[in-house]
Amino acid sequence: MNIKLALSEERLKILSECMQNYDVGADTDEWPNNIISRFTSVYNDGSISKHNIPLQHEIDSDELKLCQKLSAEITNIMANVEVGMGSNSGDYFQDFYIMHSHNSASQKITPQLIQQYFANTIFPLANITTEPLTTNTQWWKEVEQDGEESPAEYFQPWHKMMDWFAAQHDFIDCAFVRIGDSALLEQINSDDYPKGTIITGCVLPRLALGLTQKSSLVGIFGYVVHS
């Protein structure tokens, strides 16, 4: 059975902090001080678009149930675990998924795939990195740095998270995704900013994701604040 597509305030709220411009710029500006477009729409299957590009497709109910089940499981593992990673704010991961109306040819989670699934709502000059869910990575270095003065228990849920993704037969690929790097954003010449950008955003998405056989991205969404 298929489900009717509809806009979802609940799914949009997950992205909302990364869309806030904090009174910088004008209402007509897309990225005045934010990493995800202020004109972003999110639907009940997690699919993303812009206000002026409404989506029209039916939702595969079985795939949606799978996305909801898997995202709930991993969110439970990371419950009450702050994103950390050098953030100036204490925020938590939330359940996240994006279903795709047509199966993607991609077998891997790449920066290009993330840009595609986010429907070009990501600030165009923000770098996107996709790395394995392993410890020999940049994202893990940031986790380690944040917990360097913490007991060993600090890292336990992170290792459980990695083990969970590795054990999921529903995924054909998994990755940790970093959208935006504060050091690199600061280096951008303001002459290169998109129209309406005053300063680059400081609320930067951090995600752990799996890619299903039917091309859905499923996992957790959080963000770091580097102000």
Residue 48 belongs to domain with CATH number: 3.40.1460.10
CA 132/CA 187 separation, integer angstroms: 26
CA 26/CA 100 separation, integer angstroms: 32
Per-residue pLDDT tens digits for 41-92: 999 999 999 998 999 999 999 999 999 999 999 999 999 999 999 999 999 9
| Domain count of the fold of the chain | 1
Calculate mean pLDDT across residues 16-44: 96
Amino acid identity, residue 176? F
Per-residue pLDDT tens digits for 116-154: 999 999 999 999 999 999 999 999 999 999 999 999 999
Per-residue pLDDT tens digits for 196-225: 999 999 999 999 999 999 999 999 999 999
pTM (predicted TM-score): 0.96
**Residue 81's domain spans which residues?**
2-225
